[in-house]
A = this chain, B = another copy of it.
Amino acid sequence: MLIAEVSEKFELSQDTLRYYERIGLIPRVNRKTSGIRDYTEEDCRWVEFIKCMRGVGLPVETLIDYVRLFQQGEETLETRKELLVEQHKELLTRMADMQEVLERLEGKIDRYDQLIGAARHITGFSPVNFAESKGK
């Protein structure tokens, strides 16, 4: 697979794909004789995995570590697992924070609804006469 297709398929720019490879965020992709990248199925799986992990904010650094460990072979199984466990934990924490904010926003939105209701009552505003009341 050429870089253009991979770029299309995973919605990552060609520059980003080359960048990811350059910094070791995905393993080196083989080249044809002409020097052009030829992505294998496995390369694609790496791209997909990295895109997915980056998408929820796992740091590039950490993922580079993971790829490096992977390339070092079986002796790093334990370390790799620990890395994933750590990231799992981080994600849980972040989701808990987000859950709280979510609820806080819901509370705020409810209060806005009340305020807007009250304002509508006082000013005579309603979605129906919104257009006319605008210029007043």
Chain A residues within 8 Å of B, Cβ to Cβ: 52-53, 55-57, 74, 77-78, 80-81, 84-85, 87-88, 91-92, 94-95, 97-99, 101-102, 104-106, 108-109, 112-113, 115-116, 119
Decide if B77 touches A116 in the complex (CB within 8 Å).
Answer: yes
Decide if B56 touches A112 in the complex (CB within 8 Å).
Answer: no
A-B contacts, 19 listed (Cβ < 8 Å): A52-B101, A55-B97, A56-B98, A74-B119, A77-B119, A81-B109, A81-B112, A81-B116, A84-B109, A85-B109, A88-B102, A88-B106, A91-B101, A91-B102, A92-B102, A95-B95, A95-B98, A95-B99, A95-B102
Q: Give the residues in chain B near A94, CB-CB below 8 Å.
A: 56, 98
Q: Give the residues in chain B near A84, CB-CB below 8 Å.
A: 105, 108-109, 112
